[in-house]
Structure formats: structure tokens, C-alpha cells
Amino acid sequence: MARYKLILAYDGSNFSGSQRQAGKRTVQGELEKALTKLGWTGRSILLSGRTDSGVHATGQVAAADLNWSHSDSDLLRALNSLLPADLVVRALEAVDAKFHPRFDAVSRTYRYRLFCQPLRDPLRERFAWRVHPPADVSLLQGAAQPFLGTHDFSAFGSPTTPRGGTVRTVMKAAWTQTGGDEWQFEVQADAFLYRMVRRMVFLQVAAAQGKVSVEVIARSLAKQAAAEFRSVLPAGLAPAHGLTLVEVEYRS
């Protein structure tokens, strides 16, 4: 028996999120179904964290204990032949038996894609948020700055555990232009609150559309102001389909 670390990519459109739920099609459910056919008898695989319904991934990390007597590349091939088209194991390796994809992670990187257009765009909207009226992109770039560093993000989400803290450290938060009207937000933090990235994106876009002042973002990060700003902030979420979990980083 060995513990395997698996790097997963999925198109989240047709999954009810990553975590197993009875009667729903989930990433965990599909992966456990495939593993079971290869002799896996565990109760539950481990995931680095939960992604919501509709959120995509290119670098979700899972762990599973498996008796496998052939090569790693054989296992990769066997698993992928059993998984559906919208879920793939990109890589795998045997790791220390104590490896935990969530507790051992030192940071996570997410990417959020958007484009500014007045009309629907069927070829892009599966993986990006269509924003209109257009965002002022110079404002967008400035809007990301206040997030950098260690802050109380309680205005941006709930803890992932009942009594969890709300202080997080953001190492990277930057917008880059990826096409004529396309922008991409890349954000890396030690961990994220529930729906934190989608709230961060929503608020930045509201600022870049002139709906709120950019200063609101900086003020919303002050611990004492969180409760106040929670009621002031536009209470919205950028849609799930623009979000992708890109990478989970571990101490090597």
C-alpha cells in the first residue's frame, strides 16, 4: 500500500463541486469510482481544498492510498482511461504515507478570467466572466494592490472551519491582460476563506466599473472595519465559471 499524490484538472461546468455529495456528480465521486475499479478500498480520498460547483481546476491535488504493483505511468494511464472526459489526472507519484494535500499545503494559486463585452460570447463564457459595463483596467490593476500582505479578510468570506480564523497572507494579487478585452487575475495566498477569490474579484470589478471607490478595498481589510464594510460592500460573487484553481504549493 502506498499513498499517491495526484494532480487533477477538470472542467467544473458539469460537476457539483469537488467534494463528494450523495446523489451529485462531483470530482471526488468520479475519482473514487475510478480508483475503486483499480482496487482502492479507502473510505475517502483527500483533497487540498474544496472548489464550488462550476469552478475549474488545472492543479487540484488529491491523495489516495492504493495497492498498485505496476508502474506509476501504468497507474496514470489506467486511471485516465476510467475517468470521464471532463476530469483528468495530469500527474501522480508515490509520496510519504503522512502526506496530506490540505494540511501540508503552504499556499494556493487561483486564476480568475474575465472579458469586457456587451453581448454574450458562447465561445468564451464557459471559462470567463463577461463583464459589462466595461471595467476601467487601470483601476483594476490598482485595485489588487491592497490585498497584498497579511490582513483580516473577514469582509471577504467565512472561515472554512466553524471557529477558523480570518487572517490570511496574500503573496500575489495581480491583473494581466491576456487578450484585447480579456483580463486575468492571479492570486496566491497561504489559504483562502470560503468564496474569498470570487468576492475579491467582484469588488475589484465593481471598483473598476466606478460603482464603488477603490479606497473601499483597502479600508475593508482593516480588522475593526470588517463588520462595517461587510454591509457596505457590494454583496456579490463573481460567477464560479471564471475561476480556476491553478496550483497548490507544498514544501519540497
Instruction: Supply the minimum distance, in Å, between the C-beta of residue 140 and a copy of itself.
Output: 23
Q: In 145-248, which ranges are continuous DSSP H helix?
A: 196-208, 215-220, 226-232
Looking at the Cβ atoms of 125 and 136, the one nearer to a copy of itself is 125
For 58-84, give the DSSP string: EEEEEEEEE---S-HHHHHHHHHHHS-
Pairing of strands 243-250, 56-66: parallel
Nearest Cα neighbor of 167 from 181, 179, 155 is 155
Instruction: Supply the minimum distance, in Å, between the C-beta of residue 152 and a copy of itself.
Output: 33
Instruction: Supply the minimum distance, in Å, between the C-beta of residue 58 and a copy of itself.
Output: 6
> Dihedrals φ, ψ of 111, to 5°?
-125, 135
Burial class (CB within 10 angstroms; exposed 0-12, middle 13-18, buried 19+) of 122: exposed
Q: In angstroms, rounded to a whole number, what is the distance separating the alpha carbons of residues 3 and 92? A: 10
Residues 6+ away with beta carbon under 8 Å from 204: 140, 143, 144, 175, 185, 217
Looking at the Cβ atoms of 122 and 162, the one nearer to a copy of itself is 122
Residue 56 in contact with residue 126, Cβ under 8 Å? Answer: no
Looking at the Cβ atoms of 25 and 126, the one nearer to a copy of itself is 126
Instruction: Supply the minimum distance, in Å, between the C-beta of residue 183 and a copy of itself.
Output: 17
Q: In angstroms, rounded to a whole number, what is the distance separating the alpha carbons of residues 245 and 252? A: 20
| Residues forming the site for a copy of itself (CB under 8 A) | 9-11, 56, 58, 76, 80, 85-88, 90, 119-123, 125-127, 244
Give me the active site residues, please: 52
Instruction: Supply the minimum distance, in Å, between the C-beta of residue 87 and a copy of itself.
Output: 6
Looking at the Cβ atoms of 80 and 213, the one nearer to a copy of itself is 80
Looking at the Cβ atoms of 152 and 182, the one nearer to a copy of itself is 182
| Grid cell of 215 as nine digits | 479606497
